[in-house]
Structure 1
Amino acid sequence: MLEIVSTLRTPTSGTVVVEGHDVVTDVRAARRLIGLAPQSNALDPLATPVEVLEFQGAVLGLGRRAARRRSDELVELFGLGERQDTRIAKLSGGTRRKVDLAVALVGEPSLIVLDEPTTGLDPLARIEFWAELERLSAEDGPRTLLISTQDLHEAEVLATDIVVLREGGVVAHDSPEALKNRVGARTLTLTLDTSEATHDLVEATRAGFVPEPGRPATVRLALPGDPAVLRAALDDIGAVAASVEELRLTDPSLDDVFAVLTAPTTRLKKEPA
Structure 2
Amino acid sequence: MSEHTSVAVRDLEKSYGNKTVLDGLCLSIRRGSRTVVLGPNGAGKSTLLEIVATLRSPGSGTVVVEGQDVVAHTRQARQLIGLAPQSNALDPLASPQEVLDFQGAVLGLHARAARRRSSELLDLFGLGEHRRTRIAKLSGGTRRKVDLAVALVNAPSLVILDEPTTGLDPLARMDLWEELKRLNANGEASTLLISTQDLHEAEVLASDIVVLREGNVAAHDSPDVLKSLVGERTLTLALDSPGTARALVGASRAGFRAEPGDPGTVRLALPRDPAVLRSALEDIGSVAASVQQMRLADPSLDDVFASLAAA
> How does the TM-score come out when normalised to structure 1?
0.89
CA distance in 2: counterparts of 1:148 and 1:212, whole angstroms: 36
Distance 1:50 1:14 in 2: 40
Q: Distance in 1 between matches of 2:170 and 2:180?
A: 15
Between 197-206 and 66-75, report the one with greater CA deviation. Answer: 197-206
Give yes or no for the alignment of 1:7 onto 2:37.
no
- Distance in 2 between the 1:165 and 1:117 partners? 19
Give 1:196 shift.
4.1
Structure 1 residues 214, 70: CA separation in 2 closer, same or farther (over 3 Å shift)? farther
Whole-angstrom CA distance in 2 between matches of 1:25 and 1:213: 59
Q: Report the Cα distance in structure 1 between the residues aligned to 2:215 and 2:136, rounded to whole angstroms.
A: 36
- Overall identity of the aligned pairs, in %: 74
Deviation at 1:226, TM superposition (A): 1.4
Which deviates more from structure 2 when the two are superposed, residues 160-169 or residues 217-226? 217-226
Structure 1 position 198 matched with structure 2 position 245:
yes
Is 1:158–2:202 an aligned residue pair? no
SS in 2 for 1:108: coil
**1:92 to 2:162 alignment:** no
Give the equivalent residue in structure 2 for 1:256. 303
Q: Does 2:98 match 1:51? A: yes
Secondary structure in 2 matching 1:248: strand
Provide closer, same or farther for how the CA distance between residues 215 and 101 of structure 1 changes in structure 2, counting only shifts above 3 A: farther
Quote the Cα distance in structure 1 between the aligned partners of 2:309 and 2:242.
34
- In the aligned structure 1, how far is the partner of 2:155 from the partner of 2:269? 47
5+ long unaligned stretches in structure 2: 1-47
Instruction: Report the secondary structure of 1:58's partner residue.
Output: helix
Find out whether 1:139 has 2:218 as its counterpart: no
Match of 1:232 in 2: 279
Q: CA deviation at 1:263?
A: 5.1
What secondary structure does 2:164 align onto? coil
Say if 1:8 and 1:262 are closer, same or farther in 2 by CA, change over 3 A: closer
What is the Cα deviation at residue 230 of structure 1? 1.6
Q: Whole-Å Cα distance in 1 between the matches of residues 310 and 188 of structure 2?
A: 39
Q: State the aligned residue count.
A: 264
- Tell me the residue number matched to 2:160: 113
The structure with more strand, counted as a fraction of residues: 2
Aligned to 1:269: none
1:193-231 CA-to-partner distances (Å, cap 9, x unmatched) read 334433343333332222223444322111231123223
Shift of 1:259: 2.3
Instruction: Give 3-state SS (helix, strand or coil) of 1:10's partner.
Output: coil
Which of residues 146, 163, 174 is equivalent to 1:127?
174
Instruction: Specify the code of the residue in structure 1 equivalent to 2:199.
Output: L
What CA distance in whole angstroms lies between the structure 2 residues aligned with 1:222 and 1:260? Answer: 18
Name 2:25's counterpart in structure 1: none
- What secondary structure sits across from 1:147 in the alignment? strand
Q: 2:230 corresponds to which residue?
A: 183
- Identify the structure with bigger relative contact order (alpha carbons < 8 Å, sequence gap 6+): 2
Counterpart of 2:21 in structure 1 is none
Specify whether residues 95 and 141 from structure 1 end up closer, same or farther in structure 2 by C-alpha distance, changes over 3 A only. Answer: closer
Is contact 2:213–2:310 with CA below 8 Å preserved after alignment?
no
| Local SS of the residue matching 1:249 | strand
Moved more, 73-82 or 216-225: 216-225
Give the secondary-structure state (helix, strand or coil) at the position aligned to 1:15.
strand
Whole-Å separation in 2 of the counterparts to 1:43 and 1:237: 59
Q: How far has the Cα of 1:139 moved from its partner?
A: 1.3
Q: Could you say if the C-alpha distance between residues 13 and 196 of structure 1 is closer, same or farther in structure 2, counting changes exceeding 3 Å?
A: farther
Change (3 A) 1:73 1:249: same
Contact 2:155–2:188 under 8 Å retained in 1: no
Tell me how far apart the structure 2 counterparts of residues 191 and 107 of structure 1 sit (CA, whole Å). Answer: 57
Runs of 5+ consecutive residues of structure 1 not aligned to the other structure: 265-273
